Chain A
Amino acid sequence: MATAVASSSSSLFFFFSSLSSSSSPSSSSLSRLTLSSPSHHSLSSSLSISPSFISLSTKAPKRTASSLFPSFTVKAEKKNVLIVNTNSGGHAVIGFYFAKELLGSGHNVTILTVGEEGSDKMKKPPFNRFSEIVSGGGKTVWGEPADIGKVLEGAAAFDVVLDNNGKDLDAVRPVADWAKSSGVKQFYFISSAGIYKPTDEPPHVEGDTVKADAGHVGVEKYISEIFDNWASFRPQYMIGSGNNKDCEEWFFDRIVRGRPVLIPGSGMQLTNISHVKDLSSMLTLAVEKSEAASGKIFNCVSDRAVTLDGIAKLCAQAAGLPVEIVHYDPKAVGIDAKKAFPFRNMHFYSEPRAAKELLGWSSTTNLTVDLKERFDEYVKIGRDKKQIQFDLDDKILAALKVPVAV
């Protein structure tokens, strides 16, 4: 798996680590050197000159001087990180990538998955690949967040906790309270960009109004009150090997079988589909730049949108096959679009402005390349040959053949 290197115009990262599964904890050196130039604010162009003398203010550093002496911080601090991970759903894969990236950077990782190690849920990706975390030097445990104190009894103190499980305060509070009482410094939460209020003026940016009654909002509020150093990450849709929930597969299923891709509405709806390594790289950067991340909200997404039509086309390109896109009006056809289609039937588009500005993070998602890899795996596991029922699709197609009265 590729190491995500976050390099941006404002900082240089030298990544002396690898994510190979054969590395052992003791061998990972923590020689990450961060060279960052001061923030890119242009020279202050106002100087006051009094009538009696001319003096140059020295407050405005010349760009050349600052690039001669960049401030650099050697991030040699090894952190002990706990990930509390959901056992299903679209966010499950985040913990998997985050764990591996942290291990590759030389940190200690424990991943606590909700439920039981032996459950059926653990037979699905990414859980069926957790051996990769173990061989990377991480610990995997199972249990209930409500009993987290007991589950982690005897464990060494954690510096950072990421709750990648709860969707509301009921689920997160036990973890947050335990973390607080056991001296955890950084508490991070995987929230959701779904909490933003719909807007006529996309994109959703950090600070925009959120739905007050959303469970995630309650969590964000609570952790901001009890932790000095907290951060919340709001993701959207993800692709990546090890995904627990279908994303691009929905399109591949139809494209390889020569079936039309049924898209509700105009197909112009914008959304974010990120490679999950964008999320893990952002989270890892926040762990390491803890001051910069403290108290902040981050849209945890790639920096490009894609339309619903666009993702269908890109999937077809990745498959090297043609695609027939058919639009339909869910109401007219009598279908619940949520059941028939994997993405929201509206603009759902956020931008990762805070991560870029505050952490110097940059996106590496490239859907053209990423979808090609995903399609190769789709074929490799034989899913293109799988027998699939397309009941809802057939229902929609049948309804569309009926002339719609105007």
Chain B
Amino acid sequence: MASMVVVQHKQPSSVIFSSSLSDFNGAKLTASVQYKRKLWQPKGALRITASSAKKILIMGGTRFIGIFLSRLLVQEGHQVTLFTRGKAPIAQQLPGESDTDFADFSSKILHLKGDRKDFEFVKSSLSAEGFDVVYDINGREANEVEPILDALPNLEQYIYCSSAGVYLKTDTPPHFEIDAVDPKSRHKGKLETESLLASRDVNWTSLRPVYIYGPLNYNPVEEWFFHRLKAGRPIPVPNSGIQVTQLGHVKDLAKAFVKVLGNEKASKEVFNISGEKYVTFAGLAKACAKAGGFPEPEIVHYNPKEFDFGKKKPFPFRDQHFFTSIEKAKSVLGWKPEFDLVEGLADSYNLDFGRGTFRKEADFSTDDIILGKSLVLQT
């Protein structure tokens, strides 16, 4: 069914991207962005939500992806509820978000407080409320999904945040959605969830991101590099540094999540969602430096097998090639990433680390173990 939603905007229609959507500061503005301004849209057009405004439940939504996704959905005129334990505030003003925008969002976002592991509560509270669509952003295990499906027999769509971590390691990358998955992977809960959804009579869509980055990232991806760059430290990279990985900006992922809403082409489909281009480990270090205005870093290569790091992770990425093709999402959904790597890292830097905020304190202990050893690998 076609979604007929008017995006209200207060600025003249000739401005392609108003600053009221300041949580997307720095996004590359092109006509292919979700919000297409039609020139004939009268100024001050009323926001009229046609019958396709949905009652949406987001499992999670206060940490990273959901923060951006919930805003987009509210802006589209949907009624959005976040199911969280309430540990974090339901709405926190984003860096760069205007007071008006934040006030609007926080006045509209709803909260359903609970623990999703309490399956009885999930079932009863969800069936009492009734929702049209569920975005499951923080689900890890298949058994977490069942009470939701049981509670909502008329659910229009179950949209799941899976992971490219489900793919079986390959000699011939990139990973396409049709590729083999690994039932033994660390992410097998995601895989089992996808299987469960496929086995139930529900309209589901699953998105598989790779490494997500962007402001408010709680996984130390770009932050790991920024800490070292700020401290003027060399960047220790395992082995050759030519391992190829892939980063996707959280705002592009949020847009992909919105693209699949009510989209029959997304029904019972899996999509890889990440950046257009891949990047080597060494290249990523350089890109972070560029994004933050740091000089090109010294990269030190080491053989991880020669060290004992205990429980600590000496490097934030899997030591292997790991990247996916996003062509299915591009051709089927008409979605494409707006951020290229340096731009996206700059967006993250300017709105987060560069303002003095980060999630994890700098910890250079593994670096010092590596640098302390007098023999380092030459490449």
Contacts and interface: CB of A to CB of B under 8 A. Distances in A.
Contact of B50 (A54, A307, A309): A54
A41 B329 CA distance: 10
A270 B6 contact: no
A47 B283 CA distance: 42
A295 interface: no
Interface in A31-50: 40-50
B3 A45 contact: yes
A50 B242 contact: no
A313 interface: yes
A49 B50 contact: yes
Given A9-B331, A48-B38, A201 B2 contact: no
Nearest to A59: B38
A203 B34 CA distance: 26
A48 B263 contact: no
B197 to A, nearest CB: 21
Contacts of B172: 304-306, 310, 367
A238 B335 CA distance: 32
Given A42-B334, A202-B278, A203-B277, A47 B171 contact: no
A347 B241 CA distance: 12
Interface string B205-228: 000000000000000000000000
B4 interface: yes
A48 B40 CA distance: 8
Interface in A128-169: none
Interface string A293-321: 00000000001111101100110000000
B6 A48 contact: yes
B259 A42 contact: yes
Contacts of B171: 306-307, 309-310, 313-314
Interface string A106-146: 00000000000000000000000000000000000000000
Given A63-B265, A353-B327, A367-B172, A40 B332 contact: yes
B48 interface: yes
B89 interface: no
Q: Is the interface of B mostly helix, strand, loop or mixed?
A: loop
Interface in B285-327: 286-287, 321, 325, 327
A45 B32 CA distance: 11
A56 to B, nearest CB: 7
A265 B242 CA distance: 10
A47 B4 contact: yes
A333 to B, nearest CB: 13
Contact of B36 (A46, A62, A306): A46
Given A307-B321, A406-B375, A42 B278 contact: no
Interface residues of A, number: 46
B369 to A, nearest CB: 18
B36 A266 contact: no
B233 to A, nearest CB: 20
Interface in A50-68: 50-51, 54, 56, 60, 62-63
Interface in B132-166: none
B79 interface: no
A44 B5 CA distance: 11
Contacts of B46: 51
B129 interface: no
A305 B173 contact: yes
Contact of A50 (B42, B327, B378): B42
B174 interface: yes
Nearest to B376: A406
Contacts of A309: 171
B282 interface: yes
B279 interface: yes
B363 interface: no
A50 B45 contact: yes
Interface in B66-119: none
A201 B264 contact: no
A303 B326 CA distance: 12
B332 A265 contact: no
Interface residues of B, number: 53
Interface centre among A10, A54, A203, A353 (most CB of B within 10 A): A203
Interface string B27-64: 00000001111101110011010100000000000000
Contacts of A49: 4, 6, 45, 48, 50
Contacts of B286: 200
A244 interface: no
Contacts of B16: none
A51 B331 CA distance: 35
A202 B287 CA distance: 13
A199 B335 CA distance: 25
Interface string B162-197: 000000000111100000000000000000000000
Given A10-B331, A46-B35, A49-B50, A269 B242 contact: yes
A400 interface: no
B36 A44 contact: yes
Interface string A263-307: 001101110000000000000000000000000000000011111
Nearest to B327: A356
Contacts of B6: 46-49
Nearest to A48: B41
B48 to A, nearest CB: 5
B158 to A, nearest CB: 19
Nearest to B258: A45
A307 B48 CA distance: 54
A270 B321 contact: yes
A370 B284 CA distance: 35
B272 interface: no
B342 to A, nearest CB: 9
A48 B244 CA distance: 43
A266 B244 CA distance: 13
B36 A304 contact: no
A47 B7 CA distance: 8
B125 interface: no
B239 interface: yes
Given A9-B331, A42-B333, 14 more contacts: A43-B263, A44-B36, A45-B2, A45-B5, A46-B6, A46-B7, A47-B5, A48-B6, A200-B280, A201-B280, A201-B341, A202-B278, A266-B242, A306-B171
17 contacts: A42-B335, A46-B35, A48-B41, A49-B6, A49-B50, A51-B48, A54-B50, A200-B284, A268-B240, A268-B242, A269-B242, A270-B244, A303-B325, A305-B173, A307-B321, A357-B331, A406-B375
